[in-house]
């Protein structure tokens, strides 16, 4: 029995259009989604499912090295955003 590689791959999705960020430059959309995710988890708790929407968006829009750097900054208490 053969198993397809596609069966184990996660479904890739792009972030939906957000009228607050109409331009092609998605930097602000990336940053705001990252901050919104962490604010949502802080207010509602880590198990609150609707927060995952923001996580999907920033994972789709943001470069991985930014996410890694911001994650480190949050852990170290040096993140510039207000969460």
Contacts 24+ apart (CB under 8 A), 60-65: 60/13, 60/14, 60/15, 61/15, 61/26, 61/29, 61/30, 61/33, 62/30, 62/31, 62/33, 62/34, 63/30
How many domains does the chain divide into? 1
Rounded Cα–Cα distance for residues 17 and 68 (Å): 24
Identify whether 4 is part of a domain.
no
Identify whether 10 is part of a domain.
no
pLDDT digits (tens, 9 = 90+) for 41-73: 999 999 999 999 999 999 999 999 999 999 999
For the chain, first and last CA: distance in Å? 50
In the prediction, which pLDDT does 65 show? 96
Q: What is the span of the domain harbouring residue 67?
A: 25-83
Mean pLDDT value across residues 17-38: 86
CATH of the domain at 51: 1.10.10.140
Identify whether 15 is part of a domain.
no
- 26 has pLDDT over 70: yes
Identify whether 13 is part of a domain.
no
Identify whether 18 is part of a domain.
no
Question: What does the mean pLDDT of the chain come to?
Answer: 85
Of residues 28 and 5, more confidently modeled: 28
In the prediction, which pLDDT does 6 show? 46
């Amino acid at each position: 029995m053969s198993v397809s590689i596609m069966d184990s791959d996660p479904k890739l999705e792009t972030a939906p259009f957000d009228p607050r960020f109409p331009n092609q430059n998605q930097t602000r959309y990336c940053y705001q989604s990252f901050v919104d995710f962490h604010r949502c988890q802080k207010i509602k708790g880590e198990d609150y499912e609707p927060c995952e929407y923001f996580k999907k968006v920033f994972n789709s829009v943001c470069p991985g090295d930014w996410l890694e750097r911001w994650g480190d900054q949050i852990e170290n208490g040096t993140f510039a955003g207000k969460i």
